[in-house]
Amino acid sequence: MKKGVLLNSEISKVIAEMGHTDMLAIADSGLPIPVNVKRIDIALTRGIPSLVDTLKVVLSELYVEEVILAEEIISENTKLYNQLNKLLEPISIRLLSHKELKKQLMCCKAVIRTGEQTPYANIILKSGVVF
């Protein structure tokens, strides 16, 4: 049995295969996921698991050099935006319109769909290198 924090085999596999600048998204339950992008659906029920809980586990395994958020999160989901800022410090945060963020999904290795149900609760993680 795996000893680390991350037990989900699909997420572990995607992270293990990522290289520098590859991207992985963590999404709320309503984000449209492009058909040609791997969907890892871990949504169980409303709010479970949350985006923040999922992100914490992914960050325990993946070295991230930059994240992308929708700029609308600042005004439409301030509480989550503040949580993410604190959790991600000192990782660089790039803001795009929600429309542009959805276009970036086409470049992601996978999208993890959570049970999150708050506005603009989507994040794209850009892999860094540990050396």
CATH number 3.40.50.300 is the correct assignment for the domain at 9-127: no
Which residue's entry shows tokens 């914490």?
56
Summarised one tens digit per residue, pLDDT across range 94-124 is: 999 999 999 999 999 999 999 999 999 999 9
* 63 marked among binding-site residues: no
Distance between CA atoms of residues 92 and 97, nearest Å: 17
Q: What are phi and psi of 3, to 5 degrees?
A: -90, -25
Q: Could you say which of 20, 39, 94, 103 is catalytic?
A: 20
* 16 marked among binding-site residues: no
20 is catalytic: yes
* 121 marked among binding-site residues: yes
The model's confidence at residue 2, banded by pLDDT at 50, 70 and 90, is confident
Summarised one tens digit per residue, pLDDT across range 78-98 is: 999 999 999 999 999 999 999
Distance between CA atoms of residues 92 and 127, nearest Å: 12
The answer for residues whose C-beta is within 8 angstroms of residue 98's C-beta and 6 or more apart is: 70, 71, 72, 120, 122
